[in-house]
Amino acid sequence: MTQTWFITGSSRGFGAALARAALEAGDQVVATARKPADLDALVTAYGNKVLAVALDVTDRAAAEIAVAQAVERFGRIDVVVNNAGYANVGPIETTDEDDFRRQFDTNFWGVYNVTQAVLPVLKKQGAGTIVQFSSVGGRVGGTPGLGSYQAAKFAVDGFTRVLATETAPFGLRTLVVEPSGFATDWAGSSMSVHNIPSEYADTVGQVAAGGAGRAANLVAGDPARAGEILVQLVKREHLPTHLPIGVNAVEMSRAYSQKQIAEVDEWAAVGRSADFSQPYPATYPQD
Q: Catalytic residue positions?
A: 134, 149, 153
Four-residue CA torsion sign, 211, 212, 218, 224: negative
- Cα–Cα nearest to 87, from 14, 3, 153, 26: 153
Alpha carbons 159 and 243: distance in angstroms, whole number: 16
Write the CA distances from 95 to 10, 149, 186, 206, 232, integer angstroms: 28, 12, 19, 17, 40
Alpha carbons 58 and 73: distance in angstroms, whole number: 23
Helix (H, G, I), strand (E, B) or coil at 28: strand
H/E stretch holding 56: none
